[in-house]
Amino acid sequence: MNQTLILYPLFVLVLLTFIIAIWMGRLRFEAVKRGDLNVQYYRLNRGDEVPEYLAKVSQNYDNLLELPILFYVVTVLLYCTNKVELAQLVLAWLFVVSRCVHSYVHTTSNHLRRRMRAFLAGVFALAGMWCLFFFRIALA
């Protein structure tokens, strides 16, 4: 199998992270401009109440820097060890799609049950990637 195929879901997740980061930055400027948040808040990120429209996007950005780290690591390990196979590729895309759905739900309706389902789908896909990688390494 072409080993570079595992990098495409990684690129999509990086793109999603940059999109959310840019959106968050724009919302921060907008919140200050509209008077919804005092610019002094950003000295220590405290001392004011963040408006909900900004909090949702900021929290989602934080989420994109937490669990996905394990995805980035396993993806690079798969690539470097030439262990990419169809099952890993499918699980990688499932993880990335789950993160896209999670981001969409989190930054729009923030429906907790839908958000939790998307999150758990990603956790299971990522756990599958790690388990499969472990067994391929251990049995090699």
Give the chain's largest Cα–Cα span.
60
Chain segment 103-135, per-residue pLDDT in tens: 999 999 999 999 999 999 999 999 999 999 999
Task: Give the Cα separation of 140 and 48 in Å (integer).
Answer: 55
Give me the CATH number covering residue 111.
1.20.120.550
Range of 78's domain?
A: 3-138
How many residues appear in the chain? Answer: 140
What is the predicted pLDDT for the residue at 114? 98
Number of structural domains the chain divides into? 1
pTM for the complete prediction?
Answer: 0.95
Chain segment 86-98, per-residue pLDDT in tens: 999 999 999 999 9
What is the predicted pLDDT for the residue at 11? 98
Which residue, among 92, 61, 63, has the nearest Cα to 76 in the 3D structure? Answer: 92
| C-beta separation of 126 from 67 below 8 A | yes
How sure is the predictor about 4, in pLDDT bands with cuts at 50, 70 and 90? very high
Average per-residue pLDDT in the chain? 96
Which residue, among 66, 59, 138, has the nearest Cα to 103 in the 3D structure? Answer: 59
> Cα 30 to the chain's mean position, in Å?
24
What is the predicted pLDDT for the residue at 48? 87
